[in-house]
């Protein structure tokens, strides 16, 4: 059984989907050991408490990045977390933190990377006029929205869409993609060749 540590800053719908999919057996051999928010008001904290999960608020305000990250690392290590899942965690991680957990941090980004990294990816994609949008779950490395891709899911952009409709359509796929990625990383046989995650036969 692998221990997951979830990092959130806000709504936490991706986290809620992960929790649901563990119960549903779609993510095998994993449990959520700790949910950390860097913001006291994150709605996701309420969801976590309702589910009876252990939560920690490690406030990042006025804290140097690495100081904050060291507090998070200590909390994660105290729960023997194997895999860290960023789920709407809206703060850059320090290089120090990333080095502590090589290939043990996942992030979800609401675009088909490498298109539209950074903030407001859905808005960027909509404004650019792409016909296919989507989301990416990737390992975290020192560059923003950059590490090896684990899962991508695409959605069409419809002529009738506005930004909100596109955002919602992508979010639905995020909720599926993140669980697929976690299940793969926890249970799959793969290696990373360059940037490519390549499956190995069992
Ligand atoms: C999602 O769109 C995710 O891709 C991005 O931030 C948003 C978080 O939403 N990184 P939620 O907090 O999981 O509902």
pLDDT at 201: 73
This prediction has a pTM of 0.96
Q: What residues does 7 pair with on adjacent strands?
A: 36, 86
Burial 27-59 (b: 16+ CB within 10 A, else e): beebebbbbbbbbeebebbebbeebebebbebe
For the chain, the structural domain boundaries read 1-101, 108-202
Residue 200 in this model has a pLDDT that exceeds 90: no
108-202, CATH topology level:
Rossmann fold (3.40.50)
Instruction: Please indicate whether the domains covering 1-101 and 108-202 agree at the CATH topology level.
Output: yes
> Tell me: the pLDDT tens digits for 33-92?
999 999 999 999 999 999 999 999 999 999 999 999 999 999 999 999 999 999 999 999
Residue in 65, 197, 90 with CA at minimum distance from that of residue 145: 90
Q: Give the model confidence (pLDDT) of 48-60 as tens digits.
A: 999 999 999 999 9
Q: Is 34 in the pocket of ligand 1 (CB under 6 A)?
A: no
Would the CB of 174 count as within 6 Å of ligand 1?
yes
Fold of 1-101: Rossmann fold (3.40.50)
Verify whether residue 68 is a known catalytic residue: no
pLDDT at position 202 over 80: no
Q: What is the dihedral of CA 112, 115, 121, 123, to 10 degrees?
A: -110
Q: Which atom of ligand 1 is nearest to the CA of 13?
A: 14
Instruction: Calculate how far, in angstroms, residue 1's C-alpha sits from the geometric centre of ligand 1.
Output: 26
Check pocket membership of 110 for ligand 1, CB cut-off 6 A. Answer: yes
């Amino acid at each position: 059984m692998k221990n997951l540590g979830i990092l959130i800053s806000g709504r936490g719908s991706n986290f809620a989907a992960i929790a649901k999919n563990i119960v549903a057996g779609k993510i095998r051999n994993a449990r959520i050991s700790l949910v950390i928010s860097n913001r006291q008001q994150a709605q996701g904290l309420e969801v976590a408490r309702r589910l009876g999960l252990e939560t920690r608020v490690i406030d990042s305000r006025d804290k140097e990045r690495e100081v904050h990250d060291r507090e998070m690392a200590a909390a994660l290590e105290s729960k023997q977390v194997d895999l860290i899942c960023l789920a709407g965690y809206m703060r850059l991680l320090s290089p120090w933190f990333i080095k502590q957990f090589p290939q043990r941090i996942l992030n979800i980004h609401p675009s088909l990377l490498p298109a539209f990294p950074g903030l407001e990816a859905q808005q960027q994609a909509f404004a650019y006029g792409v016909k296919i949008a989507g989301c990416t779950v990737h390992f975290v490395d020192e560059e923003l929205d950059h590490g090896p891709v684990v899962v991508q899911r695409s959605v069409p952009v419809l002529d009738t869409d506005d930004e909100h409709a596109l955002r919602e359509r992508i979010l639905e796929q995020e909720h599926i993609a993140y669980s697929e990625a976690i299940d793969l990383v926890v249970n799959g046989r793969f290696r990373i060749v360059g940037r490519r995650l390549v499956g190995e036969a069992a």
